[in-house]
Chains A and B, each alone.
Chain A
């Protein structure tokens, strides 16, 4: 599997492949570790347009990410956002938003939420509040499901005091969630 992964990366040593590798390596645990999501994962990893499909996701919590990692590389390669890929950096929020929209459009809300958490943490770790605020301020929530909406709010909650856009995003999200569900979905945020 590792050979296959290396082959994928060597075949296409572009920024997109590298980013897919990095995100998958650091973020894959998030994908497979939620909700006992074998069904979600298996649907996610079955990659249309590629010749290689892992039979089932596997994950070694203390080692490399093998199948999932390779799958993410392939997923990134088949994501149809060519304009964003060559310029993608974690601090470049436009690129991050493009990937979030793409994942949401392909009905991968859980994965979009995980990617949001990843982007937010990476920027917070470098105290890059402005980038996160930019993300909150400019993201088009009409393109999102509640997975991404809530993930944006939860993952940035602790820093809301230094994120002027947080409150407005909360109000926007709140207005898009049914009244009877707000208390549950936005518990502790309102």
Chain B
């Protein structure tokens, strides 16, 4: 099944309350790095992006034109409405303070709309934020046990060094770098587009992720895979 992204400039159909957004290099300013979040349709052209942009920087704001989106096939209108309510409440209750971490564990991240994963080393990325909000409502789109734990240390080290962490948080994340799975934004978006009932395995997700990257390039919102290595 081919994945087709839609340009945010064209708006979101009225019947879609919640979609998954993705942006490429024009937003991340980093080679081969995408960014994801939720886009909420308020009607009459009003769209809000809810995303974990950085450490303690969970945003609610206008969706930039650099984004594309997919409809999440697994979201019926009632579930979508429930999640939308959750996102607004989460932003209100956390005041945007959600920790960033390269690790994604099987722990409790939210109680109600309160962030409770406050231990050093705990947190989410933009991609695992999307995964966790869905999981919090009973929607699992990835078979996380199929994701490789190795091969991600370079990216994880780079993120840990860049994050504005306390010493304790820094050391906790250093301890796990290279030993935890990396869930890429394009994988999450690809799985959201494909997942109907069963969580998607890593092997299928990689193909879906390639489709997403190609789609971003088609829409002029990212560079195609064959140009990534030459990205300045």
Interface residues of A (CB under 8 A from B): 26-27, 29-30, 32-38, 41, 59, 61, 110, 113-114, 117-118, 120-125, 127, 146-147, 150-151, 153-155, 157-159, 183-185, 187-189
Contacts and interface: CB of A to CB of B under 8 A. Distances in A.
A188 B13 CA distance: 25
B14 interface: yes
A35 B81 contact: yes
Nearest to A183: B197
A184 B196 CA distance: 8
A19 to B, nearest CB: 17
Contacts of B84: 30, 33-34
Nearest to A41: B43
A36 B112 contact: no
Contacts of A184: 76
Nearest to B134: A188
Contacts of A155: 82, 86, 137
B78 A147 contact: yes
A114 B114 CA distance: 17
B136 A113 contact: no
B155 interface: no
Contact of A146 (B16, B60, B78): B78
Contacts of A121: 86, 89, 93, 112-113
Interface of B: 12-17, 40-44, 46, 48, 60, 74, 76-86, 88-89, 92-93, 108, 110-114, 135-140, 197
B178 to A, nearest CB: 30
A62 to B, nearest CB: 8
A32 B42 CA distance: 6
Given A113-B78, A189-B138, A158 B92 contact: no
Contact of A158 (B12, B77, B108): B108
Contact of A34 (B60, B74, B80): B80
Nearest to B81: A34
Given A35-B14, A113-B78, A157 B43 contact: no
A154 B60 contact: no
Contacts of B85: 27, 30, 33-34, 114, 117-118
Contacts of B93: 121, 125
A17 B190 CA distance: 46
A36 B15 contact: yes
A125 B74 contact: no
A41 B44 CA distance: 12
A162 B110 CA distance: 14
A124 B82 contact: no
A32 B76 contact: no
27 contacts: A33-B41, A35-B14, A35-B15, A35-B41, A35-B77, A35-B81, A36-B15, A36-B17, A38-B43, A59-B46, A61-B48, A114-B81, A117-B82, A117-B85, A121-B86, A123-B112, A125-B111, A125-B113, A147-B81, A150-B79, A153-B138, A154-B79, A155-B82, A155-B137, A158-B110, A158-B135, A183-B197
B19 to A, nearest CB: 11
Interface centre among B81, B136, B138 (most CB of A within 10 A): B81
A157 B140 CA distance: 12
